[in-house]
Amino acid sequence: MGVDHLAHKELLWKLSSTYLPNDVASLQRSLVRHVEYTLARRRYKLDTSSFYQATAHSVRDRLIERWTDTQQYSAKKGAKKVYYLSLEFLIGRSLGNAVSNLGLRGAYAEALRQIGYDLEDIMSEEKEPALGNGGLGRLASCFLDTLATQNYPAWGYGIRYKYGMFEQRIVNGKQVEFPDYWLTDGNPWEVERLDVQYPVRLFGHVREFQDPDGNTLYAWEGGEVVMAQAYDTPIPGYGTYNTNNMRLWSSKPSHEFNLASFNAGNYYGAVEAKERCESITSVLYPNDATEEGKRLRLKQQYFFVSATLQDIYRRFKKNVGRGSTTMKNMPDKVAIQLNDTHPAIAIPELMRLLLDIERLPWDEAWEITRKVFAYTNHTILPEALEKWPVPMITELLPRHMQIIYEINHRFLLEVQKMWPNDTARMSSMSIIEESSPKMVRMSNLAVIGSHTVNGVAMIHTKLLKSLLFPDFLLMWPEKFINVTNGVTPRRWLLQANPALASIYTGMVGPGWVNDLKRLEPIKTMAQDPQFRQRWRAAKQTNKQALAEWLYRSMNIRVDPNALFDMQIKRIHEYKRQLLNVLGIVHRYAEITQATPEQRKTMVPRVHIIAGKAAPGYVMAKNLVMLVCAVSEVVNSDAACRDLLKVVFVPNFNVSLAEILIPASDISQHISTAGMEASGTGNMKFVMNGGLIVGTMDGANIEIEQAIGEHNMFTFGAKADQVAAIRRKMAHDPPKIDPRLHRAMGMIRAGIFGKPDDGAYNQLLDAIDPRKDVYLTAHDFPSYLGAIAEADAAYQYEEKWTAKCIEAACSMWMFSSDRTIREYAAKIWNVEPLPFRPPRHHSER
Ligand code: 475
């Protein structure tokens, strides 16, 4: 009865090493097969939304081949992997990105066209997962795209929130939040890995005991255990076979949980408890850069960190014992990047695994931990720095609290050695803030437990060193480095702006998509009138498309020949959307008072503002109200008809950004100097042939260096002047600019309505020249100066175009490809691991 294992294996191998064909006819067969067998529909006229599902599944099949091959290859090679831990990923839509990265856009478009469907229409059926707030989450997704494109073995880890970023609607002129249940139609891009689940403990107690050698050991026991369920999404690279993985965790009740509570006879109580398990991953916290201190948020952070570390640990342990690998080699195989402090609880969690499970001595465990972690800071705003009450951590994670205290104790001994009896320094560097209740400062923990800490733009890193961590800098000068942010040219040029992309490809071939330096030579073409003409035509195409979109979806008509000015980002006082609105109100006043002669010299403008306000952020919501009210009044005033339109576009997200950015002439990045860590929208706009009105803040500074001062309209106080200006205004209030005075007067007078909650007065009171924290009043005159310069420059069409060309083609360093190469070299010490596809694959 000999079972022929060899024969089975051989047959299996043969069956599974075939690859899907990608010619047009085969793609069509695959589409129809998915309609019939995945959607279970037949011989019906299908709407585009069903055909979206079928197309997505067909593309997914092709992704899966590359994905499983890549993962198997990197496991076999045992290469060092990067793990990017982030509570947020703003991935945007996947279909367009996938067909483009697979090199199958043309084939799918043709396959669909022949059966009566349009790929673009189908793509717009996709609901984007909005699993992030803003810049930090979008950066994480740009990084995943680059990591795959450059063949780095890298995984993203995060949370699969059931409800993503809320949907913003404007109802009676105000922001109203609606739940974003993005999974209604299923999610064809993910694979639920039922074989990848981990238990995660919460609450409970710590038991101390002795091992046979008399060493004291600790075990975390009791409490409740929930399960983390893995959902994987393939992340394809562009122009490579490599396909990485993004693993998101969803919470569900554990088996023990079920048994224990149901056996206790409390049926309803047991069901409620189960519901509570699932609530851990139910909703994304919609606060961008403000810390809320909510217990559920801490649960989310630990839940995701615990599952992730168990997963990484299991993968690494497969190598331990193989050859000479021991736990000490973990840093040779594992690099973990903490995307801000949100996953910083991973530091004591890894310590716990090494101490309590692996039973390593403290020093050994600590050395491993420090070599594994690196931390990126994304903001120096004090209200964003995470702190957790000691009692809360003690209750939820008792063993971690002990470990944090021990880390702190040993760290403070070092401080004491370096600065004997310097209690002030001691208390500012301590992980524990001696307040009541005591608080755990997650940023101090992250700095102490990481080998490298980086800021995200030059000025931000400088401020990080001088304002946030000056003492840590003295202690560990080499720990702090800068890695300026970047954005992926795949989504933000190739996909979002086909008109410009085809000009580039026509000039230098398709290689620029993975190597933006190749655009540099095009700069000289700025002198060629014919080339400028083509460039303008591309911009015009995009503006026309946006104008049509605005008409279709908002019933607003704008003139595509007007200057399109955009400020699209989260609403924040420090980002100063108010400065923009005051500028618009000023322009409105000028228009209504202008003589016919003066009108002729004015530049027709369309002002677009978009962005979400955190639900509890009153000032931000007031601002949204004001923009909507100004737009109502301005757009219905005959005096403005051909000169000014103001549009607030609701529900700003990645897909909307892809429509807006390529159509902009000017974009505004006008934060109070020193407050915007980097900004990444600024990079996207310039790459797409728009110019910036901006302050000397974040990456604006480096962008200006790259594109030249003459190609940027800068204004406002510099970062190193801000503190002195603030100090001075309190006792010596500056005179208010008369134009600002008039604009504020118009708003206060009720020209844009008088909300009964005094919302507008609240906004204006905050820029009183005596307590103008964000320097809005202070910077107003120079802001108007920069806007006027931009208007003047826009009137010389040829020169303007030349500026745009020069700027756009100087942007290579703001590709996330450059950014990731720096992370790889300076922080992770990882190498690309390209997987060469099997021969029969490439032959098809
Ligand atoms: C900066 N988000 C941008 C971008 O580096 C920068 C904070 C707490 C909770 C949830 N979300 C946050 C941020 O702090 C954030 O998005 N920061 C942004 O990171 C990428 O370009 O200047 O504000």
Distance from Cα 817 to the centre of ligand 1, integer Å: 20
Please name which of 580, 573, 634, 623 lies closest in space to residue 759, comparing C-alpha atoms: 623
Helix, strand, coil shares, percent, the chain, to 5: 55, 15, 30
Q: Which atom of ligand 1 is nearest to the CA of 138?
A: 20
Distance from Cα 290 to the centre of ligand 1, integer Å: 10
Distance from Cα 365 to the centre of ligand 1, integer Å: 31
For residue 53 the two structure tokens come to 């599902």
Residues with Cβ within 8 Å of 796's Cβ and at least 6 positions away in sequence, in order, are: none
**How many whole angstroms separate alpha carbon 457 and alpha carbon 645?**
34
Which residue minimizes the CA distance to atom 19 of ligand 1? Answer: 136
In a domain, residue 509? The reply is no
From 89, 288, 572, the mutation candidate for ligand 1 (largest count of ligand atoms within 8 A of CB) is 288
Residues with Cβ within 8 Å of 691's Cβ and at least 6 positions away in sequence, in order, are: 665, 666, 667, 711, 712, 713, 790, 793, 803, 804, 807
pLDDT of the residue at 260:
67
Please name which of 458, 492, 517, 480 lies closest in space to residue 702, comparing C-alpha atoms: 458
**How many whole angstroms separate alpha carbon 241 and alpha carbon 67?**
8
Residue whose tokens read 């700095």: 447
**How many whole angstroms separate alpha carbon 145 and alpha carbon 93?**
13
Please report, rounded to a whole number, the percentage of residues in the chain having pLDDT higher than 90.
Answer: 90
Residues 85 and 72 in one domain: no
For 636-765, where are the alpha helices, taking DSSP H only? 654-660, 681-687, 700-707, 719-731, 738-749, 759-765
For residue 499 the two structure tokens come to 């008109």
Please give the tally of structural domains in the chain.
3
Distances (CA, A) of 462 to 340, 383, 483, 699: 17, 19, 12, 12
Q: What is the pLDDT of residues 316-366, one digit of tens each?
A: 998 776 776 788 999 999 999 999 999 999 999 999 999 999 999 999 999
Please name which of 622, 555, 331, 370 lies closest in space to residue 630, comparing C-alpha atoms: 622
Angle between helices 577-593 and 776-794 (to 10 degrees): 60
Q: How many CA atoms lie within 13 A of 748 on its CB side?
A: 11
List, as one string, the DSSP characters of 336-399.
Answer: EEEESSTTTTHHHHHHHIIIIIS---HHHHHHHHHHHEEEE-----GGGS-EEEHHHHHHH-HH
Residues 524 and 449 in one domain: no
Rounded mean pLDDT, 377-402: 97
Residues with Cβ within 8 Å of 163's Cβ and at least 6 positions away in sequence, in order, are: 179, 180, 181, 182, 282, 283, 284
Element (H, E) at 154: strand 154-159
Residues 471 and 529 in one domain: no
For residue 178 the two structure tokens come to 């609606």
Opening angle at CA 407, ends 404 and 408, nearest 5? 85
Opening angle at CA 576, ends 674 and 631, nearest 5? 165
Please name which of 585, 581, 668 lies closest in space to residue 622, comparing C-alpha atoms: 581
Q: What is the pLDDT of residues 427-458, one digit of tens each?
A: 999 999 999 999 999 999 999 999 999 999 99
Indicate which residues carry an active-site annotation.
378, 569-570, 575, 680, 684
Domain of residue 555 covers 520-811
Quick check: 754 pLDDT over 50? yes
Q: Which atom of ligand 1 is nearest to the CA of 676?
A: 22
Residues 320 and 446 in one domain: yes
For residue 308 the two structure tokens come to 């992730």
| CATH code, domain with 173 | 3.40.50.2000
Residues 68 and 215 in one domain: no
From 159, 296, 376, 379, the mutation candidate for ligand 1 (largest count of ligand atoms within 8 A of CB) is 379
Q: What is the pLDDT of residues 564-591, one digit of tens each?
A: 999 999 999 999 999 999 999 999 999 9
**How many whole angstroms separate alpha carbon 239 and alpha carbon 102?**
7
pLDDT category at 843 given cuts 50, 70, 90 is very low
Residues 652 and 706 in one domain: yes
Residues 562 and 593 in one domain: yes
Please name which of 108, 230, 175 lies closest in space to residue 759, comparing C-alpha atoms: 175
Please name which of 154, 823, 187 lies closest in space to residue 482, comparing C-alpha atoms: 823
SS3 assignment, position 129: coil
Show the ligand 1 pocket: residues with CB < 6 angstroms.
133-136, 139, 287-289, 378-379, 384, 456, 485, 676-680, 698
For residue 788 the two structure tokens come to 């006027």
For 44-134, where are the alpha helices, taking DSSP H only? 48-77, 95-102, 105-114, 119-123
Which residue minimizes the CA distance to atom 21 of ligand 1? Answer: 679
**How many whole angstroms separate alpha carbon 399 and alpha carbon 348?**
9
Q: Which atom of ligand 1 is nearest to the CA of 386?
A: 8
Quick check: 476 pLDDT over 60? yes
The answer to whether 537 and 817 are in contact (CB under 8 A) is no
Q: Which atom of ligand 1 is nearest to the CA of 485?
A: 5
Distance from Cα 339 to the centre of ligand 1, integer Å: 10
Q: Which atom of ligand 1 is nearest to the CA of 456?
A: 5
Q: Is 839 exposed, middle or buried (0-12, 13-18, 19+ CB in 10 A)?
A: exposed
Residues 435 and 525 in one domain: no
**How many whole angstroms separate alpha carbon 824 and alpha carbon 335?**
10
Q: Which atom of ligand 1 is nearest to the CA of 677?
A: 22
Distance from Cα 517 to the centre of ligand 1, integer Å: 27
SS3 assignment, position 182: coil
In a domain, residue 833? The reply is no
Q: Which atom of ligand 1 is nearest to the CA of 698?
A: 22
Distance from Cα 168 to the centre of ligand 1, integer Å: 19
Distance from Cα 134 to the centre of ligand 1, integer Å: 7
From 378, 385, 816, the mutation candidate for ligand 1 (largest count of ligand atoms within 8 A of CB) is 378
Which residue minimizes the CA distance to atom 15 of ligand 1? Answer: 136
The answer to whether 225 and 201 are in contact (CB under 8 A) is yes
For residue 621 the two structure tokens come to 């919501």
Q: What is the pLDDT of residues 132-164, one digit of tens each?
A: 999 999 999 999 999 999 999 999 999 999 999
Q: Is the peptide bond before 437 cis (omega within 30 degrees of 0)?
A: yes
pLDDT category at 259 given cuts 50, 70, 90 is low
In a domain, residue 507? The reply is no
pTM over 0.80: yes
**How does strand 224-236 pair with strand 243-253?**
antiparallel
Residues 434 and 292 in one domain: yes
pLDDT of the residue at 842:
44
**How many whole angstroms separate alpha carbon 89 and alpha carbon 137?**
4
Residues 64 and 136 in one domain: no
SS3 assignment, position 164: coil
**How many whole angstroms separate alpha carbon 136 and alpha carbon 89?**
8
List, as one string, the DSSP characters of 432-494.
Answer: EE-SSS-EEEHHHHHHHT-SEEEESSHHHHHHIIIII-HHHHHH-GGGEEE----B-HIIIII
pLDDT category at 840 given cuts 50, 70, 90 is low
**How many whole angstroms separate alpha carbon 567 and alpha carbon 46?**
39
Q: Which atom of ligand 1 is nearest to the CA of 87?
A: 10
pLDDT category at 839 given cuts 50, 70, 90 is low
Longest dimension (CA), the chain: 102
Please name which of 381, 344, 377 lies closest in space to residue 461, comparing C-alpha atoms: 377
Please name which of 193, 189, 230 lies closest in space to residue 93, comparing C-alpha atoms: 189
Sign, CA dihedral 550-551-552-554, equals positive
Q: Which atom of ligand 1 is nearest to the CA of 285?
A: 10
Residues 457 and 584 in one domain: no
In a domain, residue 498? The reply is no
Q: Is 44 exposed, middle or buried (0-12, 13-18, 19+ CB in 10 A)?
A: exposed
Q: What is the pLDDT of residues 44-70, one digit of tens each?
A: 677 888 899 999 999 999 999 999 999
Residues 539 and 437 in one domain: no
Distance from Cα 378 to the centre of ligand 1, integer Å: 5
In a domain, residue 363? The reply is yes
Distance from Cα 137 to the centre of ligand 1, integer Å: 8
Quick check: 486 pLDDT over 50? yes
pLDDT category at 192 given cuts 50, 70, 90 is very high
**How many whole angstroms separate alpha carbon 698 and alpha carbon 468?**
16
For residue 588 the two structure tokens come to 């409105």
For residue 347 the two structure tokens come to 């530091």
The answer to whether 92 and 128 are in contact (CB under 8 A) is yes
pLDDT of the residue at 537:
98
Q: Is 264 exposed, middle or buried (0-12, 13-18, 19+ CB in 10 A)?
A: exposed
In a domain, residue 696? The reply is yes
Cα–chain-centroid distance for residue 206? 37
Rounded mean pLDDT, 797-806: 98
Distance from Cα 136 to the centre of ligand 1, integer Å: 4
User: In this structure, what are the phi and psi dihedrals at residue 246, rounded to the nearest 5 degrees?
Assistant: -115, 120
Q: What is the pLDDT of residues 781-796, one digit of tens each?
A: 999 999 999 999 999 9
**How many whole angstroms separate alpha carbon 296 and alpha carbon 163?**
14
In a domain, residue 13? The reply is no
The interface predicted TM-score (ipTM) is 0.98
From 84, 133, 136, 574, the mutation candidate for ligand 1 (largest count of ligand atoms within 8 A of CB) is 136
In a domain, residue 244? The reply is yes
The residue among 772 and 264 whose pLDDT is bigger is 772
**In the beta sheet, which residues pair with residue 247?**
157, 232
Which residue minimizes the CA distance to atom 14 of ligand 1? Answer: 289
Distance from Cα 803 to the centre of ligand 1, integer Å: 30
